[in-house]
Structure 1
Amino acid sequence: MEKYQTLLYYCYSTIANAEQFAADHLKFCKSLNLVGRIIVAEEGLNGTVSGKTSDCKIYMDAIHADERFAKTAFKIDDVNEPSFIKMHCRYKSEIVHSGLKDTSIIDPNHQTGKHLEPVDFMAMKDDEDVIILDVRSNYEHNLGKFKNAITLDIENFRDFPDKINELAQYKDKKILTYCTGGIKCEKASALLLHHGFNDVYQLHGGIIKYGKEAQGKDFEGKCYVFDNRIAVDVNNVNPTIVSVCYNCGKTTPKMINCANPECNEHITQCDECGDLLQGCCKEECTTNPRKRPYDGTGYYVKVPHQVNKKTELVG
């Protein structure tokens, strides 16, 4: 039986002529028959790729052989099949869009929160002078989050800077930030420091690494991932489901994209409502002529049409 892996990684490191690098890197990934999604910017790389275990090793070795990315930490999952359908490698202005005009104030290579390994994060998170801060989007923390974590009402990370003032009451606390793989925390913690939060930490490797090294203790629900698995289990110690069906309120761990590509809303939805609404978030979406066939997964290949960019699952 063929063995596959999915690799989650990022690296903040200056890339000259990043647009050309993205084009060349796409060809390299395709030569290894990898599938996935990589963002390239002058500030570095942000990627999730999937393929045969042997090809993934070649890819990781090549990344580490480049001195710019030698310190890249890969989160590796063994999977039964590739976690994407296609390979995308795109150039963008940032590998995590901050929404800031002056991005120099959140350069992780100059200032960022103190990195906490999973076991250290676990040891600190319940202290009285600690605040656990989820820096992910609504649809992510609605699916799962750390027990007692503070969440922010944001659709995308670029909304995070506008929420800093809501956290002012915690300036005398230790702030432990976390996200899926660690990349958003690099900028979130830097921004908190810039705004006068003095004791800021971040979960190194994010929720994914915490699940592997600390068995996911006290992470409630599932972790949203940006591939066709959509959600993965994290907690092997005291697991629970916290998400509820968008339509009926029944407890469910399942997340989908609305089958109407012109809506494409991220929602948690039980199987019964999914079957009833044909994978749509509401009745009106079922009549859209471009509605995608619902196969029970709620995952769709990106369609060549303008969709709701706030909630785009793939591409």
Structure 2
Amino acid sequence: MYQVLLYYCYTQLDNPEQFRDEHHRLCLDLDLRGRIIVAAEGLNGTVSGTREACAAYMAAVKADPRFAALEFKIDEVASHAFQKLHVRVKPEIVHSSLHHMRPHEKTGQHLSPQEFKELKDRADVVVVDVRSDYEYNLGRFKNAVTLDIENFRDFPERVERLEQFKDKKILTYCTGGVKCEKATAFLLEQGFENVYQLHGGIIKYGHEVGGEDFEGQCYVFDGRVAVDVNTVNPSVISRCRHCQQPSARMVNCANPHCNDHLPLCESCGEALGGACSEACAAHPDKRPYDGTGTYPKQSNHYTPAQGLASYRG
């Protein structure tokens, strides 16, 4: 049996490049796969491995006092959720264009899943989804305000849409919590006073309180693509791009020049050969469709150890 670990921690890393190499070697030793971002501001990752390997990894990370506040969200899976391992140094652990924010010093008040559940429907509260459009179109909390952003770096440009709610409590949420840390820090900087965030994000909310009132599925950044989090009152809110019937089946358009990530039901997927439109279905470079709608990159004899020598940053 395997596990997927989702985690982040804002903390000061004085030598991200050195930490990145040491962390990469740790993951190699444990045969972990996934995507890990290292920055001067901290660590952010999603990895998969055997239960034993994940337990050893969590123990090793938590043994570092810099990551004392880090929490792991754990899902059980049948096999690796990634094909490769990437450990990269970047300017931020989540691309936000808010380089000056220091969430480990000042951020919105954390709410446990139970506290979030108890507050979210009150009249003096507004729930705000800080994720991208393709994520919240697949699933979101009932009555949540969405901000029409293609990427989290667009968040600062959309904050003016929340000005009308300055007299309310702002409850933000995202997949695992990493985006909310910077989003709420920025809201506080912009003069919002009652700013909160769902600690551990949608994933932790699903684990601890059954995901009640989260409509649809939660988009995740691994091979599963989407996961169910609501075991209390589940629903499907996304619709097939082509026929508009309810569908939670996410695919990549088979046209590699489009590669849009979208809901596409099985019948339309077959009819269009995995493409998002007739134009993409007719494209000469369209990839063969095997019914999954996923197109993993060829490994080209890749081994995780290559990452130690083949790239930096």
State the TM-score, normalizing by the size of structure 1: 0.92
1:241-276 deviation line (CA, Å, top 9, x unaligned): 111001110100111111222211111111111111
* Cα pair distance change 1:289/1:14, threshold 3 Å: farther
CA contact (8 A) 1:261 1:292 kept: yes
After TM superposition, give the deviation of residue 291 of structure 1 in Å.
3.0
**Counterpart selection for 1:205 from 182, 200, 204:** 200
- The counterpart of 1:248, out of the listed 243, 250, 275, is 243
- Distance verdict in 2 for CA 1:12–1:213, change over 3 Å: same
**Secondary structure of 1:73 counterpart:** coil
Aligned pairs, how many?
299
Q: Which structure 2 residue ranges, 5 or more long, are not aligned? A: 300-313
CA distance 1:20–1:298, shift in 2 (3 Å): farther
Aligned to 2:294: 299
Q: Which residue among 89, 92, 114 is the counterpart of 2:90? A: 92
CA–CA distance in structure 1, aligned partners of residues 188 and 251 of structure 2: 35
Q: What secondary structure does 1:201 align onto?
A: strand
Shift of 1:109: 1.4
Change (3 A) 1:115 1:222: same
Distance 2:41 2:298 in 1: 29
Which secondary structure does the structure 1 equivalent of 2:5 belong to? strand
Aligned equivalent of 1:70, options 68, 85, 99? 68
- Residue of structure 1 equivalent to 2:212: 217
- Distance of 1:293 and 1:16 partners within structure 2: 47
1:30 partnered with 2:28: yes
Q: Percent identity?
A: 60
1:269 to 256, 260, 264: 264
Aligned to 1:120: 115
Which stretch has the larger CA shift, 250-259 or 148-157?
250-259
Q: Residues of 2 paired with 1:234 and 1:65: CA distance?
A: 30
Q: Which amino acid aligns with 2:5?
A: L
* 1:88 CA drift (Å): 1.0
| One-letter amino acid of the structure 1 residue matched with residue 207 of structure 2 | K
DSSP 3-state at the match of 2:293: coil
Distance 1:302 1:15 in 2: 32
Q: Is the contact made by 1:75 and 1:205 (CA closer than 8 Å) also made in structure 2?
A: yes
SS across alignment from 1:30: helix
Shift of 1:69: 1.2
In structure 2, relative to structure 1, the CA distance for the partners of 1:199 and 1:302 (3 Å cut) is farther
1:61 aligns with 2:59: yes
Q: Where do residues 1-315 of structure 1 align in structure 2 (5 Å cutoff)? A: 3-100=1-98, 103-104=99-100, 106-302=101-297
Q: Does the residue aligned with 1:285 lie in a helix, a strand or coil?
A: helix
> Which residue identity is paired with 1:99?
S
Aligned partner of 1:253: which letter?
A
8 Å contact 1:261–1:303 — kept in the other structure?
no
1 CA distance for matches of 2:88 and 2:283? 30
Aligned equivalents of 1:55, 1:189: Cα separation in 2: 34
SS across alignment from 2:244: coil
Which SS does the other structure have where 1:153 is aligned?
A: coil
Distance 1:31 1:146 in 2: 39
Coordinate RMSD, CA, aligned: 1.4
Paired with 2:19 and 2:282, the residues of 1 have a C-alpha distance of 43
Q: CA separation of 1:88/1:293 partners in 2, compared to 1, >3 Å: closer, same or farther?
A: farther
One-letter amino acid matched to 1:256:
V
Displacement of 1:288 in angstroms is: 3.9
Quick one: distance in 1 between partners of 2:295 and 2:186? 34
Unmatched 5+ residue regions in structure 1?
A: 305-315
Using the TM superposition, give the Cα deviation of residue 27 of structure 1 relative to its aligned residue in structure 2, in angstroms.
2.5
Q: Match of 1:310?
A: none
Runs of 4+ in 1 over 6 A off after TM superposition: none
- State the Cα distance separating 1:98 from its structure 2 match: 1.1
